[in-house]
Amino acid sequence: MSKTWLLVTMLLAVIVGTLVSRSPGYVLIAYQDMTLQTSLWVAASGLALLVMLLMVMIRLAAGIKRRAEQLSRWQQAREAAKGQKFFNKALVLWSLGEESRALRYLERAVEVPSTREGALVLIAQAEAVSEGRDQARKALTLGDARQQELAALIQGRHALASGRVEEAAGAVRQLTDNLPTRSLKKRVAVATKDWSYLAKDVAQSSKYEEDLTLAEHQALLQARYDLADDLEREQWLGALPKVSFEDLQLLQETFANFDSATRAESTCRKLIEAHPLLSLFLAYGELHRETADRRRKQLMRWRDDHPSANVLAGLGALMAQIGAYDEAREFFEQSLAGRTSPLVQHRLAVVLLAQGDADGAQTLLRGSQADPVTR
């Protein structure tokens, strides 16, 4: 403000100096038919007074504007706080299952810009069919790209929950592939038996098992009875979470259903390279006899590269399958020396029985009952 006054003073000094240097000592002020002759200094003082009055009016107008802006911000903050209060109450009621009461608060929260989007999302997810729910979904659909994705996500969830699988599949096609949408996409893929997408998702996500619910896992396992050909079986196996590969019986039943023994061998080999589990090695060793030579060469290569207990168990299973009980016994014993497993102990007991060593088999089986299951 001091700079402004300094500029005004300098301007007045220039004006007064100009008037003094060019004026005869008086000033004529004319307005329509009236003419006023006054002193030069009176005119200069009047000019200074007018300038000061103008500055006061400018400051007064600026103050009024600031007050209006402060009042507007206060009003907006008050409305936002009220909207947040309604929204918080709605969240509590929603979590308690009081959907109808929560919707009443959400209808008031949707009128506040700061809580409008969150309220629309919750209203759109309501179970009860209502005009407000349809309007909320329409508002999200007509919004920006993020709101449109939320609308598609909500539509997909409701359609899947209602059993409208095709509608859910159409909704998820609009969604980008990210963490919030991946879970829904996987559930839709399980329902539509889209094994190729599930197999791709397993490779991309390290937390696949955590994202798949127990019911969805059961539905995925149940789908194996509807697989039409070896390609679908291979894709289905690729879509399974890692925990499913620990079920040896599941693996044996699935590989036994393959039409091509060669394809079953190559599929199991790929799974072993991705998940080197004992159950997979045992299943590999007990595949169709047609591929015995190929499996033996592959297991030998694995043993030379990394002679683990699982590889030795797979070799033992293969030798037992082709009747080479001495070699099978040797491989099983080497495997058990590295890691104890009831699966291997039971197979070794079968080999001992085939060799006529019933006492050894009985002793081994008794010992396996006390040992923990090790995979």
CATH of the domain at 343: 1.25.40.10
Which alpha helices (DSSP H) does the chain contain, by range?
2-22, 40-95, 99-109, 113-124, 131-141, 145-161, 165-172, 179-192, 195-204, 208-211, 214-222, 230-239, 248-256, 261-274, 278-285, 292-305, 309-322, 325-338, 342-354, 358-370
Tell me, yes or no, whether 167 and 273 share the same domain.
no
Q: Establish if 200 belongs to a structural domain.
A: yes
Query: What was the pLDDT predicted at 15?
Result: 65
Residue owning tokens 């007509």: 142
Distances (CA, A) of 214 to 219, 221, 310: 9, 11, 28
Residue 340 DSSP class: -
Query: What was the pLDDT predicted at 142?
Result: 76
Distances (CA, A) of 138 to 67, 115, 143: 39, 17, 9
Tell me, yes or no, whether 263 and 225 share the same domain.
no
Tell me, yes or no, whether 297 and 374 share the same domain.
yes
Could you say which of 182, 211, 238 is where a domain stops?
238
Q: How far apart are CA 302 and CA 273, in angstroms?
A: 10
Report the 10 Å Cβ neighbour count for 319. 23
Using left for φ > 0, alpha for ψ between -120 and 50, and beta otherwise, residue 112 falls in beta
| Long-range CB contact pairs, 340-346, < 8 A, 24+ | 340/371, 340/372, 340/374, 341/278, 341/309, 341/313, 341/373, 341/374, 341/375, 342/368, 342/371, 342/373, 342/374, 343/248, 343/278, 343/279, 343/282, 343/313, 344/278, 344/282, 344/313, 344/316, 345/371
Tell me, yes or no, whether 290 and 333 share the same domain.
yes
Q: Establish if 130 belongs to a structural domain.
A: no
Q: Establish if 208 belongs to a structural domain.
A: yes
CB 150 within 8 A of CB 140: yes
Residue 284's domain spans which residues? 247-375
pLDDT in tens, 119-167: 777 777 776 666 677 778 777 777 777 777 777 877 777 787 777 878 8
Tell me, yes or no, whether 225 and 148 share the same domain.
yes
The two tokens of residue 38 are 């006054």
| pLDDT beneath 50: ranges in the chain | 206-209, 370, 372-375
Tell me, yes or no, whether 232 and 344 share the same domain.
no
Tell me, yes or no, whether 188 and 286 share the same domain.
no
Tell me, yes or no, whether 231 and 280 share the same domain.
no
Query: What was the pLDDT predicted at 209?
Result: 46
Domain count, the chain: 2
Could you say which of 238, 261, 290 is where a domain stops?
238
Neighbouring-strand partners of residue 34: 31
Q: Establish if 4 belongs to a structural domain.
A: no
Query: What was the pLDDT predicted at 352?
Result: 87
Cα end-to-end distance, the chain, whole Å: 82
Q: How far apart are CA 143 and CA 13, in angstroms?
A: 61
Q: What are phi and psi of 371, to 5 degrees?
A: -85, 145
Q: Establish if 137 belongs to a structural domain.
A: no
Of 105, 165, 155, 150, the residue nearest 134 (C-alpha): 155
Q: Establish if 166 belongs to a structural domain.
A: yes
Measured at the CA of 171, the angle between CA 166 and CA 175, to 5 degrees, comes to: 140
Could you say which of 195, 214, 238 is where a domain stops?
238
Query: What was the pLDDT predicted at 320?
Result: 92
Tell me, yes or no, whether 252 and 330 share the same domain.
yes
Q: Establish if 175 belongs to a structural domain.
A: yes
The two tokens of residue 219 are 């539905």
Query: What was the pLDDT predicted at 375?
Result: 44
Tell me, yes or no, whether 234 and 273 share the same domain.
no
Q: What does the mean pLDDT of the chain come to?
A: 80
pTM for the predicted model, two decimal places: 0.60
Query: What was the pLDDT predicted at 302?
Result: 94
pLDDT in tens, 283-331: 999 999 999 999 999 999 999 988 899 999 999 999 999 999 999 999 9
Q: Establish if 165 belongs to a structural domain.
A: yes
Tell me, yes or no, whether 262 and 340 share the same domain.
yes
Tell me, yes or no, whether 263 and 201 share the same domain.
no
